[in-house]
Chain A
Amino acid sequence: MNWEKKVSKRFSESSRRQVWFSGLFSMIGMGVGCFAMIVSLSVMNGFETLVHSKLKGFEGDLRVSGQVSENDISELDGIEIVMPFMERRGVIEDGNDKRVVSLKAVDVAKMAQFYNLPLRGESPKISEVVIGQDLAYRLGKDVGDEIMVYSPIDQSFGFGLTPKTKMTISGIFSTRILDYDDRFVFLSLHDGKKLFKRKSGLDGIDIRVLKNINISSLKYNLVQKLGDSVAIQTWEDLNRSLVEAMKMERLGTIVILSLIFLVAAFNLAATLSLISVQKIKEVGILKAMGAPTESIQKIIIRMGFNRSGKGAICGFILGILLALVQNKFGWIPIPSDIYFIDALPMVLFPKDLYTVIFISFMFILLASFIAGRKLAHTQIKDALQWAK
């Protein structure tokens, strides 16, 4: 045992009861900080993972827009399945009620395999559509009902009846992301080609990649193969602002919750400076015996970690436990009509754990460094004079 460790232990033990007591408080402060940070980060991760998987389930991992052939792409390595699509603003109509929607014509044979949609009913066949839950609710329609679908952009300005197609609702999906449930209508490519007369071909191809494939390297391969005539976007590019907003929220949370650490660090600094006041005589003697300034500094820092570090680790472990328990049993409910799931999702990434530990230890180090600096630099003469 090196002597600094020994002295720091002696200093802690010999402090009066109330100093020990307030040391407990600095433990509590750091613990609360760690706990709050772990819990809120894991909740944010939970929501984020949920939204990401839903977005990917809805759009695939990569989108190639432009005139390309399906076979060109499916030859590449790492691709699980491709989905050609055509997309157009269109109208669906039921009596007097009209809604402007995004009509998305897709290869219906692959639909169940490609999309990860909670679907009530079946994938559309010829002259059938799948609509979102909110849209169905607003129109008062259910599976099996009929609606009119048409695409005003594709009609000419001349006279003549709008080409409308009567279609049956074969299923209703519910994604609960943004306004998708109100906006999208799926139909078969066959119907799409008939409706979108002015379109000459596919709008693009959505790609779902195999697990463990690096999306950006695949994107690079695709660019090499297809050239510059087509646009290739990952799902993150497509939902740039949502992804950015979530990153920003996470940063905001970390910054704001670091304030708990800051306040707890104030407490630690106060506790340590009390100990400094009380032990100034001993420090004077140690210095007189030749202890270097750094050693005194080390002793104080060690004491800081001894108190607050323990608290931080306790809070850390409690937070992780809460996340595990919640995932297992789902004790904390949330209203499912607003957030689309019943239990609060909690996901922890190793990266976040490191961040929390790093931030809390930085604050402890800083507080004990500042509190100990004065003591470490006390002149021997002054220190011994102080002693009564």
Chain B
Amino acid sequence: MPFNLRLALRYLFSPNKGSFSSTASWLAIGGLSIGITALMLTASIIHGFKQVISEKLSSFEGQGRIQHILGNQIDLTNPTLDSLIQSYSKSFSPFVRGVCMVRSGAHADGVLIEGIESLPKAISGNPNNKIIPGEIVVGIGLAQELKIEKGDKVFLQVFSSGSSSPFSRKIKPVMVKEVFHSGLQEYDKTLAYIHLDDARDLFGFENNFVSGMILNDANISMIRKEISYPYFYESWRERHALLFEWIDIQRWPAYIMFGLIALVGIVNIIAAIAMIITEKSGQIGILMAQGTQRSTLKSVFMIQGGFIGLMGGTIGGLLSMIIIWAQLKFEILKIPAEIYFMDQIPFSFDYPAFGLILIITFIFCMVASWWPTKVVTALNPAIALGYE
């Protein structure tokens, strides 16, 4: 074992009970690990929030949608679309969208109806879950407002357009097949799914007409080029661009605030190393008088700083991993779903960010322990020993 490493380890794990240098090192390790935990949890929440939102949005809206630029009905037999649909027939599914009133007894509410052939994965857990005509799947928020449960009967009522005859006003009884809970208020309160044919009937679409196509396969990115006026393609990310912009802006104040904890932790390292050098100046004086290189003595304290960094990183990393794991497993920390978009704090493992945090703090640790060692260079053995 090289000399400087041995000395550094001796300073850290001193056999003397109550040795100052080991106490100070362990306090510095504690501070640093708290800082690292805070930063990692911040990164984890931000990543988790984005991930939860992305997953939910993409599962409810598909990867993207093709629609008419004016929101008109789309004829599926249309030659420009037909060729496209033929070539990727598996990844498209048609939908019909409209607004209508849902009534159950004295309660009524407006909903966004989406007529589809199979339910989104997020609801059924199984991508091929079909919905059959005469059934409706509603969000939990809507179900509570209307006081309905699975198996109840509700009436869908379309607002007739001004021009049509009085007889065109459609009322359709449907049975509640399932109540879904997405955690996103926007969906839970306003969205309901019925079968495509029911929706066509309700909103007066002809057989070959739809509101648009949902694209389920993420890999067809060239689709954007193949679609031309008057149709357009919009991915879920573009649809909710403002939300993601909001998350990105919120990110920086959070990083700065929690970075302050790590910063104070790093300041602790400077103080700890400086104090250890002061405390050991007698020993340093003896070693110098015996002819030890100044650079070797400096490296002793650098090794100590590095050890503090490594230990702090390990403990902090493990601690945050445990917290994240516990939250994912037991869902301890809940948040009100009405205000945020989800009902619990969305932790996730953001390994690139974790790695970055660890690397950056380690670099800072090395700089922080290098700085006070400059004193060693200026130390005069005679004066150092004179203190004793």
Contacts and interface: CB of A to CB of B under 8 A. Distances in A.
B278 A263 contact: no
A320 interface: no
Nearest to B273: A22
A267 B267 contact: yes
A334 to B, nearest CB: 8
Contacts of A96: 71, 161
Interface stretch (A158-166, A228-236, A285-293): A158-166
B38 interface: yes
Given A89-B108, A98-B99, A256-B38, A152 B157 contact: yes
A266 B162 contact: no
- Chain B contact patch, size range: 35 or more
A270 B279 contact: no
Given A270-B23, A273-B20, A164 B162 contact: yes
A274 B71 CA distance: 74
Contact of A148 (B30, B111, B162, B270): B162
A274 B276 CA distance: 9
Nearest to A159: B166
Contact of A245 (B267, B340, B372): B340
B179 interface: no
Given A162-B160, A267-B268, A241 B339 contact: yes
B351 interface: no
Interface stretch (A28-36, A120-128, A203-211, A297-305): A28-36
A19 B387 CA distance: 15
Contacts of B20: 273-274, 277
B278 A274 contact: yes
B229 interface: no
Contacts of B263: 32
A100 B110 contact: yes
Interface in A259-286: 259-260, 262-264, 266-267, 269-271, 273-274, 277-278
Interface in B14-30: 18, 20, 23-24, 27-28, 30
B271 A271 contact: yes
A116 interface: no
A164 B159 CA distance: 10
A316 to B, nearest CB: 15
Given A29-B267, A150-B159, A263 B110 contact: no
Interface residues of A, number: 57
Given A91-B110, A152-B159, A241-B338, A29 B268 contact: yes
A270 B268 contact: yes
B217 interface: no
A248 B335 contact: yes
A337 to B, nearest CB: 8
B362 interface: no
A265 to B, nearest CB: 9
Nearest to B18: A374
Contact of B279 (A93, A263, A277): A277
A152 B162 CA distance: 14
B271 A26 contact: yes
A295 to B, nearest CB: 22
A270 B28 contact: yes
B108 to A, nearest CB: 5
Nearest to B101: A152
A266 B166 contact: no
B71 to A, nearest CB: 8
Nearest to B388: A388
B277 A266 contact: no
B353 interface: no
Contacts of B272: 22, 267, 270
27 contacts: A16-B278, A18-B278, A25-B270, A32-B264, A33-B260, A33-B264, A91-B159, A98-B99, A152-B157, A152-B159, A160-B166, A161-B160, A162-B160, A245-B335, A260-B260, A263-B35, A263-B265, A263-B268, A264-B268, A267-B28, A267-B268, A267-B271, A274-B20, A274-B275, A274-B279, A277-B20, A374-B18
